[in-house]
Amino acid sequence: MLKFDKPVWKIAVEAFFAAVAASTLMTGFQWILINVGVGGGSNLLLALMSAAYLTFFLLVFYHLLRQKAMIDRVKKEEDEQMLRDETTRLYKSKVFKELAGTQIRMCKRNSWPVGMVIMDIDRLGMINKTYGFDAGNQVLKHFATIIKESVRESDLVARFDDDRFALLLPNCDARNAKRVIQRIQNHILSEPLKVGKATIKIPFSSGVVSFAGKVAKFNHLVNRATEALEQAKRKGGNRIELF
């Protein structure tokens, strides 16, 4: 990532003093032109001075815009790092909680149901042990990509823990939430991850819950979905359980 030692205000101050210095130089340039006989008050002298000033200030303006664009890009990258998990590029759990709170309040205002899904990749530890941690990270990335491709833009997805993911589904009852997870399962089955010569299947378990918007609370949704997930794990994994 690029780093900048100077904030924008320092660049602006430097540009101001550069402009003062340039004005001094331009005055000297004007004096030279007058003394070499390029008509003291002529239109030619005025044109030369105007061109010199315009060229200089256009260069300064371009430099400032370029610096500002680069700083904005770096700041955006830093913000993304704070908001998103480095491996999967999904929201971090704290960010997910804040955004989910906003979505839940919207559902309450509209009397919509709210669906919550907690997913856990089965045997991720075994995958890491068999194929290595790099393969495990590829599994996480692949799984996250498929989730994002399988949900709506209004849905929220987060990496909730090492091998757990959370999905908030506004205006979605339990039956439709289960259909979303079934779609993800079918997608995962049809696109196993290939790492070198190995083909890695990614079974996962899911706990699904949906509350009416007026009574939904973030912690209740997470707790109930987690209970359903644990029930799915107890039954052998690679299954969907409704609370």
- What pLDDT score does 161 carry? 80
Q: How confident is the model at residue 230 (pLDDT cuts 50, 70, 90)?
A: very high
What architecture is domain 93-242? 2-Layer Sandwich (3.30)
Q: pTM of whole model > 0.75?
A: no
3-state secondary structure 153-205: CCCEEEECCCCEEEEEEECCCHHHHHHHHHHHHHHHHHCCEEECCEEECCCEE
Gyration radius of the chain over CA positions = 30
Q: Which of 14-18, 42-46, 91-95 has the lowest mean pLDDT?
A: 42-46
**What's the one-letter identity of residue 233?**
K
Q: Is the pLDDT of residue 2 over 70?
A: no
Q: What is the largest CA-CA distance in the chain?
A: 98
Distance from the Cα of residue 125 to its chain's centroid: 27
Higher pLDDT, 29 or 39: 29
Q: Where are the domains of the chain?
A: 8-83, 93-242
Q: What value does the mean pLDDT take over residues 11-15?
A: 61
Q: How confident is the model at residue 198 (pLDDT cuts 50, 70, 90)?
A: confident
Dist. CA 219–CA 116, nearest whole Å? 11
Q: Is the pLDDT of residue 53 over 70?
A: no
Q: How confident is the model at residue 1 (pLDDT cuts 50, 70, 90)?
A: very low
Tens-place pLDDT, residues 56-76: 666 766 666 665 666 555 555
Q: How confident is the model at residue 165 (pLDDT cuts 50, 70, 90)?
A: very high
Tens-place pLDDT, residues 129-159: 989 889 999 999 999 999 999 999 889 999 9
Report whether 124 contacts 139 (CB < 8 A).
Answer: yes
Higher pLDDT, 2 or 36: 36
When the pLDDT of each residue in the chain is averaged and rounded to a whole number, the result is: 80
Q: What value does the mean pLDDT take over residues 100-120?
A: 91
